[in-house]
Amino acid sequence: MTMHRISKQGIRLGAVRRRLGALPLAMAGLALLSGCGTSASSPSPVTGGPTTSAAASPQVTATAQSTVTAGAQTTSPGAPAASPAGGLGGYWVAPADAATVTTSTLTLTATPTTLVDVSFTRVVFSIAWGSGAPTTACTATTGGSDGRWSCNADLFRLGAPLGPLTFAFDVFDSAGNTARSPAGPRTVTFAAAPAPPATVTWSIPCLEIIDCPGGYWPITVRWSAAAGPVSGYRLYYTLGDVDYCHGGYWTSRGSAMLVATFGPTVLSVPGRLYNQDGKYSVAAFNAAGSSSATMSEPVIVSGDVMCP
């Protein structure tokens, strides 16, 4: 028989659990301190990972006219637009005008044209929104055998907001000529949910310096900022069991429960933990939808464990 050594706080774990008895569902995870967030009065269980309930936060889904994915060719080439500089011009291939973009990466494609015997050196695509000035979205430096020049624009990295985005392209050739927006602008609607937070962590400082209060553990949950347009975050808790005798294998006990919803600038929250061995998870959301949830490690408060 093997004895696993644990902290003095865990020695009282069995007594604490017997005192607590059957806790209400809202007490299973994090009891928020005053002013830390908006708790859901009757959270809906989430099966297979946290999702967004209509009661927690209504979601607005953009009406898609067409969905643009990386590499998609969605328009038929029109007549090339010529410029005065050596007949330099070009036409759009993708994305389709008035398309709805639901991914963070957008492939931009154009076919440059010329009336003289010169080679193209690059095609520079620009992006703009609102009243802001255009900025470079991406640059294509090599053309394909079909004459198309493409590059991928990372809309999250560019800081693009949800809503209308306007693209244009310029063509450059080896003779030093430049055709500025020979095919005119192309506008799409950006409607992508944010990426999930990269990390979710927790800490219980009193376990390291002093005895924790009886009946609960003061805990702080933290998560990293999500990429993309973010309207807020949802914090969940999933009850679980840890098999201490077989490598700490974790299994859930039921669905994820919504603890609270926070604004886009909140990245940590203090509270009180009443049931250990569960996992916290956080999902980011905006008007276009919700990200998948990122889970923490199990919340383990040491206790005596006898393994055969």
Q: How many residues are given for the chain?
A: 308
Asked if 2-60+194-307 and 81-190 have one fold, the answer is: yes
Q: Give the strands of the sheet with 89-94, arranged side by side.
A: 81-82, 89-94, 105-113, 149-154
Mean per-residue pLDDT over the chain, rounded: 77
Q: pLDDT tens digits for 70-98?
A: 333 333 334 444 444 568 999 999 999 99
Class of domain 2-60+194-307: mainly beta
For residue 103, the 8-state DSSP code is: S
Phi, psi of 290 (to 5 degrees): -120, 150
Residues of the chain with pLDDT > 90: what percent? 55
**Residue 54 confidence (pLDDT) above 90:** no
Give the per-residue pLDDT at 118. 79
Give the per-residue pLDDT at 33. 47
**Any idea where the domains of the chain sit in the sequence?**
2-60+194-307, 81-190
**Residue 157 confidence (pLDDT) above 50:** yes
Residues of the chain with pLDDT > 70: what percent? 67
The CATH code of domain 81-190 reads 2.60.40.650
Residue 215, number of CB atoms within 10 A of its CB:
11
Mean pLDDT of the region 174-178: 90
Give the per-residue pLDDT at 128. 98
Residue 48, number of CB atoms within 10 A of its CB:
7
Distance CA 144, CA 226 (A): 35
Give the per-residue pLDDT at 141. 97
Residue type for position 100: T
Give the per-residue pLDDT at 304. 56
The pLDDT-based confidence of 224 (bands split at 50, 70, 90) is very high
Distance CA 54, CA 244 (A): 38
pLDDT higher for 66 or 193?
193
Give the per-residue pLDDT at 265. 97
**Residue 36 confidence (pLDDT) above 70:** no
pLDDT higher for 229 or 39?
229
**Residue 287 confidence (pLDDT) above 80:** yes
Distance CA 119, CA 35 (A): 63
Q: pLDDT tens digits for 98-133?
A: 999 999 999 999 999 988 777 999 999 999 999 999
Least confident of 6-10, 158-162, 208-212, 216-220: 6-10
